[in-house]
Structure 1
Amino acid sequence: MDPAAPRNLRILVVDDHELFRAGLRQLLDRIDSLTVVGEASSGADVLSAVERLAPDVVLMDIGMPGTDGIEATRTLLARHPRVAVVMLTADDNDDSIVAAVRAGARGYLVKGAGLDDVRRAITAVSQGGALFGPEAAARLLAQVRRPTPEREPFPDLTPREMAVLTMLADGRNNAHIANEFGLSMKTVRNYLSRIFSKLQVADRAEAAVRARRAGLGS
């Protein structure tokens, strides 16, 4: 055990796959300084679970149906900014990393990370720091250093979200967007959910109108 690690950190595990939650819980139980105080199976359940269980750190799956990990993190930290979130993902890409940071996550781990990686991430975020895997850190740095256009109609959107919104403005359906970018339908729906939230619109029609007014689409 790392002698520098704080004692008795309370951990909440959030993932829509029961087997993954069980496996992660077994992993965390091997770390003496941690206590898993509970689990949640959806992003919609995160806020109530946090208010009931008072965890120090939330390990949050990024890709859940309905309310995904990005939106759940944003909602959670608006109410409980002292809770630290480590994002867990099977999809290690630039857009996910940027979205996680913008939502307030202080850690980012690929599913399948080893015990030491998980322990270091939890320890870092619980002490007010941040920890991203080497590849995630390099990609995040590249995003920060990328030149920014003088005018961005929707600065909160990631480059991939802007591309999806542009296709939405062109009237493309989810299947077309998925085929264009090589994404699953679930991933497309997650992108759209984040876009609607950031634009504060109710549906794709309203998002398309805003996008076309901003000059997106053909």
Structure 2
Amino acid sequence: MADKIICIVEDKPDLREGMSMMVQFTDGYELGGSYANAEEAMEKIPGIVPDAVLMDINLPGASGIACVTSLKAMFPQMLFLMCTAYEDNDKIFDSLKAGASGYILKTEGPARIMEALGDMLEGGSPMSSNIARKVVASFVSMGKDNQLIETLSDREKMVLEQLAKGLIGKEVADALQISGGTVRKHVQNIYKKLHVNTRVEAVNLYLKR
């Protein structure tokens, strides 16, 4: 069986060199190339078409997430393992939405990173345990948000949908052909049922459902 070609995108020279050596000394892997920034990676990787890429997030210039988005659009089959120091929720979900198949913290060490790479190449979606807990917690939270939205009446959902489009009270009234007073009453009920105090909070819950 042919060796799997791996590329690395990491801006810190010592870490990039260390990861490169890990790949070179692991049976079944071949180092396709290592790059210090997303721009170089986006230029060179299309000519290599590796099986997988170890991708840092916080890079000079374009981010690792932007790099994944760009390369994934060209090569849907290419696999990306985010190797990062960040446990930030937005970065986790932006990475997964961009097309990353795994998310590993650098602090877990070289052996775990290589184990995660192997897991991903075999069809898995490896994540550091605390990252996985954040993902699960987010889905639990989304489920609760959905339950709250479902307590709204059909008319209240219609009002909230108009608010989510950026319409103000009078515009909502015109769009739904109801009075301004009726809109205000619906909005009060929406706030009460969703346990929020502002339009922004209500719209955020609606959009996250």
Map 1:1-218 to 2 at 5 A: 8-147=3-142, 148=145
Q: Distance in 1 between matches of 2:20 and 2:164?
A: 43
Identity within the alignment, %: 25
Instruction: Name which structure has the greater RCO, CA cutoff 8 Å, separation 6+.
Output: 1
Q: Which structure: greater helix fraction?
A: 2
Mark the runs of 5 or more structure 1 residues left unpaired by the alignment.
Answer: 1-5, 155-211
User: CA separation of 1:112/1:36 partners in 2, compared to 1, >3 Å: closer, same or farther?
Assistant: farther
Q: Say if 1:46 and 1:76, in contact at 8 Å, map to a contact too.
A: no
Question: Normalised by the size of structure 1, how large is the TM-score?
Answer: 0.62
Q: Distance in 2 between matches of 1:112 and 1:28?
A: 18
Q: Distance in 2 between matches of 1:115 and 1:56?
A: 19
User: CA separation of 1:8/1:65 partners in 2, compared to 1, >3 Å: closer, same or farther?
Assistant: same
What's the CA shift string for 1:172-198, capped at 9, x where partnerless?
Answer: xxxxxxxxxxxxxxxxxxxxxxxxxxx
**Count of residue pairs the alignment pairs up:** 152
1:7 CA drift (Å): 5.5
Cα RMSD over matched residues?
2.5
Moved more, 63-72 or 119-128: 119-128
1:126 CA drift (Å): 1.8
Q: Distance in 2 between matches of 1:88 and 1:26?
A: 16
Letter in 2 for 1:56: D
Letter in 1 for 2:83: L
Letter in 1 for 2:138: Q
**Secondary structure at 1:99's aligned position in 2?**
helix
Question: Normalised by the size of structure 2, how large is the TM-score?
Answer: 0.65
What's the CA shift string for 1:29-70, capped at 9, x where partnerless?
Answer: 231121111111111222222212221100000001221011
What's the CA shift string for 1:3-31, capped at 9, x where partnerless?
Answer: xxx76111101011222100111222231
